[in-house]
Structure 1
Amino acid sequence: MTDEEILSRLRIILHDTFEIEPERVTPEAHLFEELDLDSIDAVDLAIQLQRMTGKRIKSEDFKNVRTVSDVVASVHMLLKD
């Protein structure tokens, strides 16, 4: 899966789950400051990513995720395993 494919799926997830407009979801966008997610939303996002990849996300791996680009990198790591 390419970065663009992951980003595209992430835009859909963020729109469907949190009603965030897809054009706001850029690699540089900060999840908490720019997209207004909170810690509970981050848990919901992790669950959605688990569904997308079929792999479990370790909470310690997701703790340092701050931007959309970080999420894309996390998905790549999940798909590698």
Structure 2
Amino acid sequence: MEIENIVNKINEILVEEFEVDEEVIAADKNLKDTLDLDSLDYVDLVVIIESNFGVKLVESDFTDVVSFQDFYNLIEQKIADKQA
């Protein structure tokens, strides 16, 4: 799956499921601060991403995720690993 498709799908999910204004989503912005996610929101996000992309996410996957771009890259890598 192309990174552009991943970005578009994730942004669509954030807008629909988390009622995020699309204008606040930017690759270089801080994911947690921008979305104002609490621990339950993270669980919801993980479940939604797993069901939409068919990948498994664990807590340690988020260690290096700061920006939206980091998150997009994580999902892209998970998809690539699954296909390998």
Same structural fold, with TM-score higher than 0.5 when normalized by the shorter chain: yes
Greater Rg over alpha carbons, structure: 2
1:4-28, CA deviations, whole angstroms, 9 ceiling, x for partnerless residues?
2111111111111110011211111
CA positional deviation for 1:33: 1.5
Q: Which runs of 4+ in 1 moved over 6 A?
A: none
Equivalent residues of 2:30, 2:67 under 8 A apart: yes
The separation in 2 between residues aligned to 1:30 and 1:59, in whole angstroms, is 18
Residue identity over aligned pairs, in percent, reads 30
Q: Which has the higher helix share?
A: 2
The separation in 1 between residues aligned to 2:67 and 2:19, in whole angstroms, is 17
The amino acid that maps onto 1:12 is: E
CA RMSD of aligned residues (A): 1.4
Unaligned segments of structure 2, at least 5 residues: none
Normalising to structure 2: TM-score of the pair? 0.82
Normalising to structure 1: TM-score of the pair? 0.85
SS in 2 for 1:42: helix
SS in 1 for 2:32: coil
SS in 1 for 2:10: helix
